[in-house]
């Protein structure tokens, strides 16, 4: 599959602070790529460099086979960006915000009307067109932010923590639209998020720590590398669980056992079928992966356990 983003040896410092250190990675066309890290890990700095908003110190940035240093305007046309903080004009209506933005890409008249109709349908905001942006709820504003980023039908959609603070219904709508765009248009989605369930759905994940890559791989690869499996056993007592000779945690109506992998879980279940009459096996979560890879919780701070 074509590599639509190629970053090689990227560096950026602010005085003595090395925000990005020799960062190299690639993103395949059409994939959902998750970029994780605590605040200050280098995520937003990298995105700002990719978008041409921040000058890098060194390294190469290639977007859709175009060198950022050689033709920044072409790169910008391939990108749609939804920043953490809304960039909409609060004093203008939704319609005016979108029409002004579309005009910058030469999308006017009937072309704008047709594009607006498509986005209104996908993101369910037709009834908001005449409303002033400043009077919208956070979820409504986020839909317009994404519509703004999609006006010129970009090849890559960059989402910098797009669903933080949104209600579950709005998050569901946004992810349905994003999934449709990937499936129908082959759009690449570059995501930063604090919601680990969103990262768990990614095709590929990079975990940043202090501007460097701490871990990378598919969610399954990362879970297998950094976490074990959990077996939750129901309908038994603690005396029976102790026979297994493994560490366990007593829960309200069950016992939770941590094992290195599924193979070890299978061995226990086969050896003690009388204990494992009612159970489930669950892979470790992306929160566990992040903690193991960085020693930090994604919300920030060192882990002291």
pLDDT of residue 301: 40
**Residues spanned by the domain of 238:** 228-283
Going from the C-alpha of 132 to that of each of 88, 99, 140, 216, 264, the distances in angstroms are 10, 14, 11, 42, 59
Query: In tens digits, what is the pLDDT along the chain, a chain of 305 residues?
Result: 699 999 999 999 999 999 999 999 999 999 999 999 888 889 999 999 999 999 999 999 999 999 999 999 999 999 999 988 889 999 999 999 999 999 999 999 999 999 999 999 999 999 999 999 999 998 899 999 999 999 999 999 999 888 877 888 888 888 888 899 899 889 999 998 877 778 888 999 999 999 999 999 999 999 989 988 899 999 999 999 999 999 899 999 999 998 988 889 999 999 999 999 999 998 888 888 999 998 877 654 444 33
Q: What is the pLDDT of residue 298?
A: 63
pLDDT at residue 304, as a whole number? 37
pLDDT at 303: 40
Domain boundary among the residues 218, 239, 271 is at: 218
Tell me, yes or no, whether 73 and 171 share the same domain. yes
Q: Find all residues with CB under 8 Å of 41, minimum gap 6, and list them.
A: 208, 209, 210, 211
Residue 288 in domain: no
Q: Which pLDDT belongs to residue 284?
A: 85
CATH code: domain of residue 187: 3.40.50.300
Q: What is the pLDDT of residue 198?
A: 83
Domain boundary (163, 196, 218) is at: 218
Give a yes or no: residue 304 inside a domain.
no
Residues 40 and 114 in one domain: yes
Question: Based on the domain organization, do 24 and 108 belong to the same domain?
Answer: yes
Give pLDDT, residue 173: 84
Residue 71 domain flag:
yes
Q: Would you say residue 297 lies in a domain?
A: no
Contact call for residues 126 and 156 (beta carbons, < 8 A): no
Task: Identify whether 150 is part of a domain.
Answer: yes
Whether residues 237 and 107 share a domain: the answer is no
Pair 212, 192 in one domain: yes
Residue 77 sits in the same domain as residue 174 = yes
Instruction: Let me know if residue 300 belongs to a domain.
Output: no
Residues 203 and 84 in one domain: yes
Examine residue 104 and state whether it is found in any structural domain, yes or no. yes
State phi, psi for 241 to the nearest 5 degrees. Answer: -65, -35
143-166 confidence digits (pLDDT tens)? 999 999 999 999 999 998 888 778
The string of pLDDT tens digits covering residues 163-178 is 877 888 888 888 888 8
Q: Are strands 204-209 and 32-36 parallel, antiparallel or unpaired?
A: parallel
Rounded Cα distance, 167 and 169, in Å: 6
Does residue 87 sit in the same domain as residue 154?
yes
Q: What is the pLDDT of residue 116?
A: 97
Please identify which residue in the block is written with the tokens 């369930």. 197
Q: Are both 18 and 139 inside the same structural domain?
A: yes
Residue at which a domain ends, from 175, 199, 218: 218
């Amino acid at each position: 599959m074509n590599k639509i983003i190629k970053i090689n040896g990227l560096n950026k410092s602010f005085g003595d602070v090395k925000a990005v250190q020799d960062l190299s990675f690639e993103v395949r066309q059409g994939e959902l790529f998750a970029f994780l890290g605590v605040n200050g890990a280098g995520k937003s700095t990298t995105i700002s460099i990719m978008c041409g908003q921040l000058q890098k110190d060194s390294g190469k940035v290639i977007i859709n086979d175009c060198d950022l240093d050689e033709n920044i305007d072409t790169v910008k046309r391939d990108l749609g960006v939804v920043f953490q903080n809304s960039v909409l004009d609060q004093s203008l209506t939704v319609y005016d915000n979108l029409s002004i933005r579309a005009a910058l890409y030469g999308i006017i008249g009937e072309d704008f009307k047709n594009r607006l109709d498509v986005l209104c349908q996908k993101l369910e905001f037709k009834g908001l067109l005449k409303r002033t942006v400043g009077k919208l709820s956070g979820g409504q504003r986020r839909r317009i932010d994404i519509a703004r980023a999609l006006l010129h039908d970009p090849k890559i959609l960059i989402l910098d923590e797009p669903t933080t603070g949104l209600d579950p219904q709005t998050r569901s709508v946004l992810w349905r639209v994003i999934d449709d765009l990937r499936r129908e248009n082959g759009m690449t989605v570059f995501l930063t998020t604090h919601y680990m369930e969103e990262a768990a759905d990614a095709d590929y994940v990079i975990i940043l720590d202090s501007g460097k890559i701490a871990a990378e791989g598919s969610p399954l690869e990362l879970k297998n590398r950094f976490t074990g499996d959990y077996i939750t056993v129901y309908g038994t007592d603690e005396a029976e669980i102790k026979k297994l000779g493994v560490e366990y945690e007593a829960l309200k109506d069950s016992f939770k056992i941590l094992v290195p992998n599924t193979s070890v879980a299978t061995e226990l279940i086969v050896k003690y079928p009388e204990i494992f009459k009612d159970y489930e096996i669950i892979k470790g979560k992306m929160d566990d992966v992040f903690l193991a890879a960085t020693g930090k919780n994604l919300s920030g701070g060192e882990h002291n356990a």
